[in-house]
Structures are given as C-alpha cells and as structure tokens.
Amino acid sequence: MNRQAELDIIRAAYARHVLGAAVVEDERLAAAFAAIHREDFLGSPPWPIIRWFRNGDYVPSPDDDPVHLYTDVLVGIVPERRLNNGQPSLHALLMHHAAPAAGDHVVHIGTGSGYYTAIFAHLAGAAGRATGIEYEAEVAARAQANLAPYTNVRVVQGDGTTAAFDKADVIYVNAGCTRPAETWLDRLADGGRLILPLTSGENFGSLEAEQMRRSGAVFRIVRRGDEYFANRISAVAIFPCAGNRDEASEQVLAEAFAKEGLQRVTRLYRHEDIPDDRCWVRGPGWALAYS
Ligand SMILES: C[S@@+](CC[C@H](N)C(=O)[O-])C[C@H]1O[C@@H](n2cnc3c(N)ncnc32)[C@H](O)[C@@H]1O
C-alpha cells in the first residue's frame, strides 16, 4: 500500500476517534475530518504537541510522520504564546452544534493557521463559503497561504469583533470572550448559529477540570427573528479574544460560574433588564437567562 493510501486510512480512523471522543454521530462531519490534511496547516515538522503528562508542555513530535497529528492533540501554532491548533474532539463537538449545511456561509473568528476553516469550507461545499478572520498578522498570513487552494474561502486579517462580513449562517468563535460582540448578533442570519466561548479571567493553559468547569463555557446561540436562544454545550479553556473582554462582564461571569444554573440557560438578551430569578448572568447591555 502506498503512503497516501495509508494516510487516508489513518485520517478516517482519526475522524472516527475524535467524533467518538466527542460523543457525536455525524457522518458528514466525520467525512470532513477525514478529508482535510492537518499537516498542511501546521508548518514543518517536528510539530510541537502539548503533552499533559508533561504538565501541558510542548514536546516535539518524535519524527516527521504526519501520523502524530492524527490523534486528539493540541499542536502549537505560536507555542511561545500558547496559541494552539485546538483539540480535535472539542472542535468536533462544537462544529456538530454549529451544524454547517451545504451552501452555508460560515464565519470563523480566530482562524489561526486555517485547519478548522478548511473543514468548514469542505462542509459548506462549492455552493457555500467560509470567511476566516484572524487578528494576528503573521498567523493570518499563514492561514492565507494554507487556504489558498480553497476557492470558497476568504481570509481577512483583523479584529473579528468589529470586522465587517456578510450575513452568516454560522459564526464560529475560537477565542474566549466576556460577552457576545454586537456585530455577531447583528450579522447572524435568521436560524443561524453562533458558537460563543465565554470565559472569566485567565482561562487558558493547563487548567484542572474543576477549574475549567468553573471559568469557561461554550454557548450555542440560535437566532429566530429578533430573539436569541442559548444553551451551554461545553466547558472550555481557550486563548483570549482581543477586543472583546470588558472588566464588568468578566466580573459578573466569574460570579455566575461560581454558582449553579449554567445548564438551565435558554435565552440571550441584548439588554440587561431581566428579573433576578430568571437571570444567570447580567453584563452591561446583555444577559443570559433561564427564560
Ligand atoms: C485558540 S487559537 C485557535 C486557532 C484556530 N482556531 C485553531 O484551532 O487552529 C485563537 C485564535 O484567535 C485569534 N483571535 C483572538 N482574538 C481575535 C479577534 N478579536 N479577531 C480575530 N481573531 C482573534 C488568535 O490570534 C488565535 O489565532
């Protein structure tokens, strides 16, 4: 068997493992994870891979075989700042909830070097498209180069909390925020899904599971007309979002994570006028509530 055929089998097995780890059954998503070559997005080997048994330090891959990338590992993009290509099983879970359909416009905030944007582009298909927005110029340049072969992808270097983009069926945010940006809620299409990680304080690096549960959560926000429905889909520890962290929201989020009720959240409001008994968290001009 030639090496390419072998790698195809390895990628198909990887896709099944990461969806299995995420407890997700989604044949389209598995096919997309199997189709995209992760090594095309992570620079030259050896790749810096996070190893939790070494306290979350980066350990270079033992050699330049791409097989090392087809496990459920985080890989450094800019290791000096712990900016990573995220964990595949977490993304499988979040992408499943984002539910990109063929023909959709997906906006990916925090594209990094482009790997998960490529998976979205595959899922959106020739009739759809993906817009990747990346804040860091050097990382955005890498994404532009890596995604050049994808005719349905556009990469923008800039701040995804303020950058203009066309109405989106999916807005997939990959950096920790303290609140939803107004532009995301404005530009979400009717029926569209916003995947939003909310984090309080220093929430990334190697956190213990309990600490993580207590300081970061990913919400899925679904727009119906002028209403926004919300539910919590995962705990998270993630690189902070530039331009979308305010101290007042950070403080109220820290208090909210310290109490119960996260699982009962069903609504996002674009104002803070919600009675206490219905409210999980209330920041300046926004709230997450039970009804
Ligand atoms: C956790 S990394 C994830 C990268 C990529 N999604 C991956 O998994 O390969 C978060 C990324 O979000 C970017 N970022 C942070 N704030 C941003 C903003 N306001 N607009 C666009 N990108 C942002 C960072 O520069 C970083 O590349």
Which pLDDT tens digit goes with each residue over 167-197?
A: 999 999 999 999 999 999 999 999 999 999 9
Average pLDDT of the residues in 13-19: 98
Is residue 161 lining ligand 1, measured as CB closer than 6 Å?
Answer: yes
- Residue 215's pLDDT is 80
Which pLDDT tens digit goes with each residue over 33-59?
A: 999 999 999 999 999 999 999 999 999
Residue ID of nearest Cα to ligand 1 atom 14: 110
Cα(213) to ligand 1 centroid in Å equals 21
* pTM given for the model: 0.96
C-beta neighbour count of 36 within 10 angstroms: 20
- Residue 202's pLDDT is 58
Is residue 116 lining ligand 1, measured as CB closer than 6 Å?
Answer: yes
Report the C-alpha gap between 8 and 201 in whole angstroms. 41
Is residue 76 lining ligand 1, measured as CB closer than 6 Å?
Answer: no
- Residue 246's pLDDT is 86
Which pLDDT tens digit goes with each residue over 150-164?
A: 999 999 999 999 999
Which pLDDT tens digit goes with each residue over 70-125?
A: 999 999 999 999 999 999 999 999 999 999 999 999 999 999 999 999 999 999 99
Q: What's the mean per-residue pLDDT of the chain?
A: 95
C-beta neighbour count of 137 within 10 angstroms: 10
Token pair for residue 47? 């790749």
- Residue 201's pLDDT is 73
Cα(272) to ligand 1 centroid in Å equals 28
Is residue 239 lining ligand 1, measured as CB closer than 6 Å?
Answer: yes
Bridge partners of residue 165, in order along the sequence: none
More confident residue, 164 or 211: 164
Is the pLDDT at 230 greater than 90? The verdict is yes
Cα(22) to ligand 1 centroid in Å equals 22
Is residue 241 lining ligand 1, measured as CB closer than 6 Å?
Answer: yes
Under a CB-based contact definition with an 8 Å cutoff, are residues 190 and 225 in contact?
yes
Cα(164) to ligand 1 centroid in Å equals 17
Under a CB-based contact definition with an 8 Å cutoff, are residues 269 and 286 in contact?
yes
Is the pLDDT at 212 greater than 60? The verdict is no
Under a CB-based contact definition with an 8 Å cutoff, are residues 237 and 204 in contact?
yes
- Dihedral over alpha carbons 22, 28, 29, 35 (to 10 degrees): 130
Index of the ligand 1 atom closest to the CA of residue 91: 8
Cα(118) to ligand 1 centroid in Å equals 15
Cα(259) to ligand 1 centroid in Å equals 29
Is the pLDDT at 17 greater than 90? The verdict is yes
Residue ID of nearest Cα to ligand 1 atom 7: 85
